Amino acid sequence: MSRARTLYDLLADADALTVVCHNNPDPDCLSSALALGRIAAAAGVDERRILYSGQISHQQNRAFVNLLNVDLQPFDPAAIRNRPEGSLLAFVDHAVPGANNEVPADTPVDVVIDHHPAEGIEARFVDHREAVGATATILTEYVVELDVEVDSTLATALAFAIRRETLGFLRGATVAEYEAVIDLYDRTDLDLLRRLSTPSVSGATVDTIADAVHNRVVRGSTLVTGVGHTSERDALPQAADYLATLEGVQTAVVFGIVDDSVQLSARSTDSRVHVGNALSAAFDDVGSAGGHREMGGGEIPLGIFAGYDLDDETFLDIVERVVTRRLSAALGLDDEESGD
């Protein structure tokens, strides 16, 4: 029996489905949640909801939710505690309770569909494919195989997510991504796709990216930069994407303090570097970090330092030195710094 049919049969025996997104969900996570909800509806599940935690602050993520009218509810721990037997809990685009989500670590999970590196995945149904470029690719495969109705909203959501997750099919894309988009093409709203791809950018986002550019330090082909304290979490991956295109740079890591944690985002085109493994080696003992060969991220709780003035120059300098030192060790950087 195929994975899609196995999932469908599991859903067909359920009364309710709660899909939990990872923290600060992106289009890959959101579109996959939408698709899983459509599959559940086709299987006869009437009670369905999508929960999220964190913020939807990236301009493309906000546009995605608003233009596609995605029905999201804030994460509520009570919604997943003591679930009746027929109420299923699903993760899409993440895999383990307590890792990049607010779900308590000992919570039983029924469905996991993900393409990110992860260990210790436990669920009644698991489809974990690190080789594919997007979780939306897997869900597209499911809806096509199961002949689930795909309207223009869902087709556009999945197509945009695949395009976004692979940076326009330039990062981590496989044959499966192209096949998925071909399957979706006739039902994709191309005008809406263009609007999702070119949303307006806030001044605060531009300022944060400018700080990343100004503060950059290059060692060999690796660039590391901190933006200090910022409210613009989603500006960090945008800055990493931009700085990774700088001449002579093959790996870019951007970090900043957001709320009560240090957030990191990294990109790499260096065949010698698995940037997800490097972030994991640098920070897994103090937070959570990891990712793919070409892209990764991490979060380090400030812990006892959370009460400090996050704009204090001395405090920011300490954070920058600690993060940079750990990155230097994990990436094997030379001690000598060279500006560009």
Going from N- to C-terminal start, the domains of the chain cover 3-197, 204-331
Can you list the alpha helix ranges (DSSP code H) found in the chain?
3-12, 27-42, 59-67, 135-145, 152-165, 175-185, 190-197, 203-214, 235-243, 275-283, 313-331
Report percent pLDDT > 90 for the chain. Answer: 72
CATH class entry, domain 3-197: alpha beta
- pLDDT for position 313: 86
Task: Tell whether the model's pLDDT for residue 300 goes beyond 60.
Answer: yes
- pLDDT for position 312: 81
Mean pLDDT confidence for 181-187: 97
Dist CA 320 CA 317 (whole Å): 5
- pLDDT for position 55: 83
Mean pLDDT confidence for 110-118: 95
Label residue 340 by pLDDT band (50, 70, 90).
Answer: very low
Mean pLDDT confidence for 182-194: 96
Task: Tell whether the model's pLDDT for residue 338 goes beyond 50.
Answer: no
Mean pLDDT confidence for 290-316: 83
Pairing label, strands 47-52, 73-74: parallel
Dist CA 225 CA 296 (whole Å): 15
Label residue 101 by pLDDT band (50, 70, 90).
Answer: very high
Dist CA 260 CA 265 (whole Å): 16
Dist CA 184 CA 201 (whole Å): 28
Phi–psi pair at 271, nearest 5 degrees: -65, -15
* Nearest Cα to Cα of residue 108 among 118, 94, 116, 96: 96
**Residue 135: how many other CB atoms lie within 10 Å:** 30
Give Cα 85 to chain centroid, integer Å: 30
Mean pLDDT confidence for 217-244: 94
Task: Tell whether the model's pLDDT for residue 310 goes beyond 80.
Answer: no
Give Cα 125 to chain centroid, integer Å: 21
List of residues 6+ apart from 264 with CB closer than 8 A: 236, 253, 254, 255, 279, 283, 289, 296, 297, 298, 299, 300, 323
Give helix then strand counts, H and E, for the chain.
Answer: 11, 12
Pairing label, strands 217-219, 125-128: unpaired
Dig out the tokens for 246 from the structure. Answer: 């700088």
* Nearest Cα to Cα of residue 264 among 222, 327, 306, 307: 327
- pLDDT for position 336: 44
Task: Tell whether the model's pLDDT for residue 151 goes beyond 50.
Answer: yes
Any idea what DSSP says for residue 21?
Answer: P
Task: Between 167 and 338, name the one with better pLDDT.
Answer: 167
Same topology between domain 3-197 and domain 204-331 = no
User: Following CA atoms 210, 161, 224, 242 in sequence, which dihedral angle do they give, to the nearest 10 degrees?
Assistant: -40
Most trustworthy range by pLDDT among 121-130, 194-203, 225-234:
121-130
Task: Tell whether the model's pLDDT for residue 292 goes beyond 50.
Answer: yes
Task: Tell whether the model's pLDDT for residue 223 goes beyond 90.
Answer: yes
CATH architecture of 204-331: Roll (3.10)
Task: Tell whether the model's pLDDT for residue 202 goes beyond 90.
Answer: no
**Total-model pTM:** 0.79
Task: Tell whether the model's pLDDT for residue 33 goes beyond 50.
Answer: yes
Pairing label, strands 111-114, 87-92: parallel
Dist CA 287 CA 167 (whole Å): 27
- Cα angle value 125/27/272 (rounded, 5°): 85
- pLDDT for position 304: 62
List of residues 6+ apart from 262 with CB closer than 8 A: 255, 256, 287, 299, 300, 302, 319, 323
Contact indicator for 251, 275 with CB cutoff of 8 Å: yes
- Residue pLDDT, tens place only, 131-147: 999 999 999 999 999 99
